[in-house]
């Protein structure tokens, strides 16, 4: 037992302390959080706009062309792997410009997430009784005011668990950023593995950090859900 | 009390696919009118009411509200809806907002009233219907009758020129119908112009200034309540009254 502990200690020092290797993880974590946060923002922005366009079309038959474009976007994004999208954004779209890798990743993951958020939010909007729109309009509110003050808050509450799930997936999906040589958390762990020829320590550490973040995120959503449910008693 | 023409409907028609819900309806609602629309289900009464504030877009005909043809696509319908309160069978309160927030949302957002003014008005109306103590409750904490009374005062917060009621008591438990009809009776007494689709014949007879009997998308008879109930002229109205009275 004592031998095992000693062995663990030596490996730990070798993997994380020597040459300040822990910095790969810390800096990587920063990149991961940065990419996740901003691509989530882009995803929410794109997602809500597309969801509103598509559900308006579903309910009223208006906005045929925008709806068709949105459908195409959702189909293409959901129909291709996110790794390929990331590579295309970095090596094809930004081929001739020298763009920051972090920005390329944010754009790629944001565009990707937007398609999933769109479908989640759309299902939320469709789950709200048409009567709510009628009630809002009959009070003189215009379409967008009714959407903003009446439909979206209720839809958001209904889809919050699904949205949280999407952002958990997004957080973990950013671990493929290494494909464009962006040193995120996963890449950081992999770099250490390359230096020390020890796979166990760095990879388990990386896994635990992801797990910790996901648990934290879930907890936050849980609290938010409870607060939003105050009108359900 | 009955004054100038508020709503004038000309040759109104509405089809859903091949079904003609409204088939050439002409009608006039004057200031102070309490027009009660009765008729068998599927006769087009709700569709007619919903056309008045364009929740249903008519297939043909014209609707003039305070002199403006609101079926004209260039008209800003939101402006006119502000002056037409609507009460639905299913209440349609906003479940994520308290009673007070339900009431002040559109005075603040549409009429741009300062919050204090909107709240003052809402509280005053809540007191009038005996629900001031439920101001901070959520709709899910209210009974059906309470919800419908809130829905009525929510519409009144916009100070409309006319109130449209679409079977306001049909979704209520029988013991709650009275409290809602009471509010409507008081409202009519205060001189509000009302168009009411209902199955409550007692209310129609007592409060209505005019009864409109519709069947198969048309207005069949239109008379004062005393005349209509005591002296129905068409066979269809006779058959209908025999069933509901």
Q: pTM for this one?
A: 0.85
pLDDT in tens, A133-156: 999 999 999 999 999 999 999 999
pLDDT in tens, A49-67: 999 999 999 888 888 999 9
Please check the confidence at residue A203 and state whether its pLDDT lies above 60: yes
Q: Give the length of chain A.
A: 233
Chain A residues in contact with B139 by the CB 8 A cut-off are 231
- Residue B47 CA to its chain's centroid (Å): 12
Distance, in Å, from the CA atom of A51 to the CA atom of A114, rounded to the nearest integer, reads 10
Query: What was the pLDDT predicted at A137?
Result: 95
Task: Using a CB–CB cutoff of 8 Å, tell me whether B85 touches chain A.
Answer: yes
Query: What was the pLDDT predicted at A231?
Result: 67
Confidence grade of residue A11 (pLDDT, cut at 50, 70, 90): confident
- Angle between helices A22-60 and A185-196 in degrees, nearest 10: 150
Tokens 């990149």, residue located: A31
Binary contact (A140, B85; C-beta < 8 A):
no
Best residue of A59, A135, A147, A156 to probe chain B, by most B CBs closer than 10 Å: A135
Tally Cβ neighbours within 10 Å of residue B46: 21
User: Which residues partner with B215 through β-bridges?
Assistant: B218
Percent of chain A surpassing pLDDT 90: 75
User: What does the DSSP assignment read for chain A?
Assistant: -HHHHHHHHHHHIIIIIGGGTHHHHHHHHHHHHHHHHHHHHHHHHHHHHHHHHHHHHHHH---HHHHHHHHHHHHHHHHS-HHHHHHIIIIIITSSS---HHHHHHHHHHHHHHHHHHHHHHHHHHTS-HHHHHHHHHTT--HHHHIIIIIHHHHHHHHHHHHHHHHHHHHHHGGGGGGGT---HHHHHHHHHHHH---HHHHHHHHHHHHHHHHHHHHHHHHHHHHHGGG--
Task: Using a CB–CB cutoff of 8 Å, tell me whether B123 touches chain A.
Answer: no
Tell me the residue ranges of DSSP E strands in B66-199.
68-69, 84-87, 162-166, 193-197
Mean pLDDT, chain A, whole residue set: 92
CA distance B241 to chain A (A): 31
Who among B78, B88, B111 is closest to A135 (CB)?
A: B88
Binary contact (A140, B79; C-beta < 8 A):
yes
Distance, in Å, from the CA atom of A187 to the CA atom of A134, rounded to the nearest integer, reads 52
């Amino acid at each position: 037992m004592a031998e095992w502990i000693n062995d663990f200690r030596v490996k730990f020092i070798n993997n994380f302390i020597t040459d300040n290797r822990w910095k790969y993880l810390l800096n990587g974590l920063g990149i991961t959080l940065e990419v996740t946060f901003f691509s989530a923002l882009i995803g929410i922005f794109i997602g809500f706009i597309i969801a509103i366009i598509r559900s308006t079309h579903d309910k009223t038959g208006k906005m045929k062309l925008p709806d068709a474009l949105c459908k195409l976007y959702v189909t293409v994004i959901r129909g291709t792997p996110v790794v390929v999208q990331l590579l295309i954004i970095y090596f094809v779209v930004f081929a001739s410009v020298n763009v920051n890798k972090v920005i390329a990743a944010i754009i790629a993951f944001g565009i990707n997430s937007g398609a999933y958020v769109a479908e989640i939010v759309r299902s939320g909007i469709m789950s709200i009784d048409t009567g709510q729109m009628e009630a809002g309009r009959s009070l003189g509110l215009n379409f967008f005011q009714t959407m903003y003050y009446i439909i979206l808050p209720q839809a958001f509450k209904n889809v919050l668990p699904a949205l949280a799930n999407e952002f958990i997936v997004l957080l973990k999906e950013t671990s493929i950023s290494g494909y464009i040589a962006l040193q995120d958390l996963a890449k950081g762990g992999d770099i250490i593995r390359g230096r020390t020829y020890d796979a166990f320590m760095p990879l388990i550490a990386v896994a635990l950090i992801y797990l910790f973040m996901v648990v934290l995120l879930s907890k936050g959503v849980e609290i938010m859900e409870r607060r939003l449910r105050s009108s359900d008693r | 009390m009955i004054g100038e023409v508020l709503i004038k409907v000309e040759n109104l028609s509405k089809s859903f696919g091949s079904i003609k819900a409204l088939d050439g309806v002409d009608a006039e609602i004057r200031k102070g009118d309490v027009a009660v629309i009765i008729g068998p289900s599927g006769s087009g009464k709700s569709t007619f009411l919903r056309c008045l504030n364009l929740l249903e877009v008519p297939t043909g005909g014209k609707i003039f509200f305070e002199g403006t043809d609101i079926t004209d696509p260039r008209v800003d319908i939101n402006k006119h809806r502000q002056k037409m309160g609507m009460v639905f069978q299913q209440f349609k309160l906003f479940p994520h907002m308290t009673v007070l927030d339900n009431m002040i949302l559109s005075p603040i957002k549409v009429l741009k009233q300062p919050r204090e003014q909107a709240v003052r008005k809402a509280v005053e109306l809540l007191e009038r219907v005996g629900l001031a103590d439920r101001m901070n409750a959520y709709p899910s904490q209210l009974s059906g009758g309470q919800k419908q009374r809130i829905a009525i005062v929510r519409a009144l917060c916009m100070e409309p020129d006319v109130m449209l009621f679409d079977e306001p008591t049909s979704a209520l438990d029988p013991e709650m119908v009275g409290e809602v009809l009471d509010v409507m009776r008081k409202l009519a007494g205060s001189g509000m112009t009302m168009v009411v689709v209902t199955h409550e014949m007692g209310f129609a007879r007592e409060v209505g200034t005019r009864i409109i009997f519709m069947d198969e998308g048309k207005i069949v008879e239109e008379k004062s309540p005393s005349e209509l109930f005591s002296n129905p002229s068409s066979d269809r109205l006779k058959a209908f009254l025999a069933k509901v009275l």
